[in-house]
Amino acid sequence: MTQWQSRPLDTIYPIIYLDCIVIKIHGNLHVINKAIYLALGVNMDRHKELLGLWMSENEGAKFWLSVLTELKTRGVQDILIACVDGLKGFPDTIAVEFPHTRVQLCIFMARNSLRLFPGRIIKRLLRI
């Protein structure tokens, strides 16, 4: 897992989806919440690629900055569009590492990103 998580990445991703889910982990005598961060990129060949998974105590823009810094360290130089949720401070956090990236809320991003592809490609993307 460590080797996969540290592998080199492409230099450009036209679209990247950044999201966090909170899961419950059952311990010995109690249940704790953990935030699982994920970055899903659409590469220049229009293939989805899971760029990484990270775990933290909770979701926050500060942790997202460490994720984005790691992506840059692994070779990502530019992200054209970042699709994110409405987390406060998220667009500013993205701008720290990727100042030219356009930030869009998830539902609108999903719809708008389809406009970048020809109709026959859209049909294939919707099946995925």
Q: What residues are paired with 97 via a beta bridge?
A: none
Q: Tokens for 58?
A: 């909770």
CA separation, residue 16 to residues 24, 76, 89, 120 (Å): 26, 11, 18, 22
Instruction: Indicate the burial class of 29 (C-beta count within 10 angstroms; 0-12, 13-18, 19 or more).
Output: exposed
Instruction: Indicate the burial class of 30 (C-beta count within 10 angstroms; 0-12, 13-18, 19 or more).
Output: exposed
Domain positions in the chain are: 2-127
- pLDDT of amino acid 120: 77
Which of 99, 38, 30, 82 has its CA nearest to residue 63? 38
pTM equals 0.76
What 3-state class would DSSP assign to 69? Answer: helix
pLDDT tens digit at each of 128 positions of the chain: 789 889 999 999 999 999 998 888 887 889 989 999 999 999 999 999 999 999 998 888 889 999 999 999 999 999 999 999 877 888 999 999 999 999 987 665 556 666 667 777 777 766 65
CA gap 120, 111 in Å, rounded: 16
Fold designation for 2-127: Nucleotidyltransferase; domain 5 (3.30.420)
